[in-house]
């Protein structure tokens, strides 16, 4: 059974892998059929390759006429054989180039499709999946492991089909020429299959471990590069390099072990095939001496034998590579088998929602038996502002994460305008919500594209109007290309307050009826806070607003304040009401030295 939002390793059978590859090939059945026709034609030409030489040995050199070319002189037959040889090799080369292009195009398209499918699936998975998964490992699966399907198609499926077609034709011709030598040539196959079975499990285990070790290298690089400021601030460069070197060396050791097994496997199969060839040469030569075989027959037989063993040897020699690809594809299939913990609803809001929100006896925990939120019950009417305060770990961010269904509660329900949000499609639900999160997230695209991220059809005038309301227009105008300035990774060239105002402009442009503000003025100075608060007043107007606040200036105008502690609502009311209760909120306020802009604990 597929797991839900977990990325643990699972066993993938050969049958599952084969069906997975065949299903991936289905959209290209036309090109695949063309490739099969090309393979059949190539096999016929491969069968024809030694026959011009047989004609030369059996007819031209001893000056014997051919029954199917009566009256032809030896010189004419020689010219025909030479032209035939050139024609066969020319046609064979052209067909092989065409076939290579066809199969490579299919393989590359399969990789592109698989990457797109995997990326789309990753976007559908719930946030609970990403709290456990490694981003570096996921990047490796999307960028590297997806190439496994091309390897399996190019080095597995197509060679098997081509070789099977060629081997069938060769065995038919060889059996008609001499059944005893044909049986002798085929006797090596059971031994090869035995060696294959012995190596199968070892190669699969080592290939999987090599992939996992390489993924850990990617994981470490991603983690350290994304936190380079912290690494340099604490002078951890040498320690992080040591960890990288250790993981890189571990990956190297496992890959060397894999390549050693692959090489040993290829060498052992080569020895077995050489023994088969030697046996045929020995008995074949005796049959020529006995007059049962002509020299031309012997040349055809040995030529076929070399061609017979060559594709077989190629398949066996690349078996280790295929096992490595199999391990990579299994890692991709693990992700695709992971089902989202949050299931899509089927309905949409019948009209623009008013923003009437109710939490009804809601309880939620990230782990079974450990509640992060318990028995949460409150109502927010359209256009009202509710502030959520409390110490670190009280469950504030978790509470607002339930509204857009980043997670689903284990009990209770949440409604918007009386509709259970689990009945709504995620697009409809999240389309009714704007969010300003911490830390403020911007993308390495232009400023205008960042503001219009949730509303790509917005005009330039609408983008600039949102920026003005968010108190961002002036600093944007000072940027080198203004609204067309492309920001660096994570907006590194902007201050914290500037990034925050861009995200506020993004939320303003979206113009959703429900607004979530997650600590919108944390980690900024007093002047920047004043600018952000002015932007927030414009943003919150006529919207149902949820504010997670560490600074009391953010919550004084709230219609309702919810005070959370250890996952429960311990107090609720307006700012003056809570101060006069001399309870938990009052103590939080006192710790802020009684100033309106004081910071709430947490």
pLDDT for position 61 = 61
Give the strand pairing for 385-389 and 357-364: unpaired
Q: How wide is the angle at C-alpha 500 spanned by C-alphas 497 and 506, nearest 5°? A: 145
Question: Which pLDDT score is estimated for 206?
Answer: 85
Residue 200 confidence (pLDDT): 67
CA angle 557, 589, 379 (to 5 degrees): 45
First CA to last CA distance, the chain: 41
Distances (CA, A) of 9 to 2, 257, 301, 327, 333: 11, 21, 49, 11, 10
Cα 549 to Cα 71, 231, 588: the distances in Å are 104, 29, 12
Widest CA span in the chain: 122
Task: In the chain, list all ranges with CATH 3.40.50.300.
Answer: 347-432+512-602, 443-511
Question: What confidence score (pLDDT) does residue 94 get?
Answer: 95
Assign 3-state DSSP to the chain and report helix, strand, coil percentages, each to 5.
65, 10, 25
The pLDDT score that the predictor gives to residue 594 is: 34
DSSP annotation of 455: -
* pLDDT averages per 10-residue partition of the chain, 602 residues: 48 72 88 89 84 71 65 74 88 92 89 91 87 82 84 73 77 79 77 72 80 84 73 76 90 88 77 78 78 73 68 59 74 88 89 94 88 94 91 89 93 95 93 86 88 90 90 90 84 80 88 85 64 74 85 77 93 91 85 41 30
Q: What is the pLDDT of residue 526?
A: 67
Instruction: State the Cα–Cα distance between residues 76 and 167, nearest whole angstrom.
Output: 33
Question: Parallel, antiparallel, or unpaired for β 560-565 and 385-389?
Answer: parallel
Q: Where are the beta strands (DSSP E) in 406-548?
A: 411-416, 419-420, 433-436, 514-518, 544-548
Best CATH choice for the domain 14-336 from the list 1.20.1560.10, 1.10.600.10, 3.40.50.450, 3.40.190.10: 1.20.1560.10
Q: Tell me the fold of 443-511.
A: Rossmann fold (3.40.50)
pLDDT score of 401: 92
Q: What is the DSSP letter of 441?
A: -
Q: Boundaries of CATH 1.20.1560.10 in the chain?
A: 14-336
* pTM score, whole prediction: 0.72
- Cβ within 8 Å of residue 573, ≥6 positions away: 560, 561, 581
List the Cα angle 472/460/537 in 5-degree steps: 35
* CATH of segment(s) 347-432+512-602: 3.40.50.300
Q: How far apart are CA 319 and CA 182, in angstroms?
A: 25
Partners of 364 in the β-ladder: 373
């Amino acid at each position: 059974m597929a797991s839900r939002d977990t990325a643990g390793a699972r066993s993938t059978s050969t049958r599952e892998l084969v069906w997975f590859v065949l299903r991936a090939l289905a959209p290209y059945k036309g090109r695949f059929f063309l490739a099969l026709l090309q393979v059949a034609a190539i096999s016929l030409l491969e069968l024809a390759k030694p026959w011009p030489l047989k004609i030369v040995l059996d007819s031209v050199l001893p000056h014997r006429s051919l029954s199917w070319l009566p009256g032809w002189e030896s010189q004419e037959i020689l010219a025909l054989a030479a032209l035939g040889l050139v024609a066969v090799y020319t046609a064979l080369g052209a067909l092989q180039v065409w076939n290579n292009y066809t199969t490579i195009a299919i393989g590359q398209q399969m990789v592109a499709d698989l990457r797109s499918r995997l990326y789309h699936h990753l976007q559908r998975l719930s946030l609970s999946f990403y709290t456990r998964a490694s981003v570096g490992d996921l990047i490796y699966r999307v960028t590297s492991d997806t190439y496994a399907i091309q390897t399996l198609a190019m080095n597995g499926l197509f060679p098997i089909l081509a070789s099977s077609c060629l081997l069938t034709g060769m065995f038919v011709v060889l059996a008609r020429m001499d059944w005893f030598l044909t049986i002798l040539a085929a006797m090596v196959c059971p031994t090869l299959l035995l060696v294959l079975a012995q190596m199968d499990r070892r190669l699969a285990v080592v290939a999987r471990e090599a992939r996992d070790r390489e993924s850990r290298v990617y994981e470490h690089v991603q983690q350290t590069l994304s936190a380079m400021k912290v690494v340099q601030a604490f002078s951890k460069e040498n320690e992080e390099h040591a960890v990288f070197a250790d993981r890189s060396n571990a990956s190297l050791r496992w890959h060397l072990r894999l390549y050693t097994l692959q090489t040993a496997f290829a060498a052992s199969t080569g020895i077995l095939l050489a023994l088969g060839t030697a046996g045929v040469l020995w008995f074949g030569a005796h049959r020529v001496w006995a007059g049962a075989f002509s020299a031309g027959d012997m040349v055809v037989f040995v030529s076929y034998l070399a061609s017979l063993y060559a594709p077989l040897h190629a398949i066996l020699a690349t078996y280790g590579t295929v096992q490595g690809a199999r391990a990579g594809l299994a890692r991709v299939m693990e992700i695709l088998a992971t089902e989202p913990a949050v299931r899509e609803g089927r309905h949409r809001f019948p009209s623009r929602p008013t923003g009437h929100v109710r939490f009804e006896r809601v309880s939620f925990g990230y782990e079974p038996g450990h509640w992060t939120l318990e028995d949460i019950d409150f109502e927010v009417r359209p256009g009202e502002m509710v502030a959520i305060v409390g110490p670190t770990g009280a469950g504030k961010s978790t509470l607002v994460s339930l509204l857009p269904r980043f997670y689903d509660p284990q009990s209770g329900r949440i409604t918007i305008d009386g509709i259970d949000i689990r009945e709504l499609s995620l697009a409809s639900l999240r389309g009714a919500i704007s969010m300003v999160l911490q830390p403020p997230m911007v993308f390495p695209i232009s400023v205008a594209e960042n503001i219009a991220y949730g509303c790509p059809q917005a005009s330039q005038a609408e983008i600039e109007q949102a920026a003005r309301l968010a108190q961002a227009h002036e600093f944007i105008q000072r940027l080198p290309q203004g609204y067309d300035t492309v920001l660096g990774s994570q907006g590194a060239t902007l201050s914290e307050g500037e990034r925050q105002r861009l995200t506020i402009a993004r939320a303003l442009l979206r113009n959703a009826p429900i607004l979530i503000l997650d600590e919108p003025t944390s980690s900024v100075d007093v002047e920047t806070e004043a600018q952000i608060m002015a932007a927030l007043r414009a943003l919150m107007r006529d919207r149902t607003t949820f504010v997670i606040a560490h600074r009391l200036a953010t919550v004084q105008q709230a219609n309702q304040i919810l005070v959370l502690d250890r996952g429960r609502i311990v107090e609720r009311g307006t700012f003056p009401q809570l101060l006069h209760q001399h309870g938990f909120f009052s103590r939080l306020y006192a710790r802020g030295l009684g100033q309106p802009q004081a910071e709430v604990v947490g």
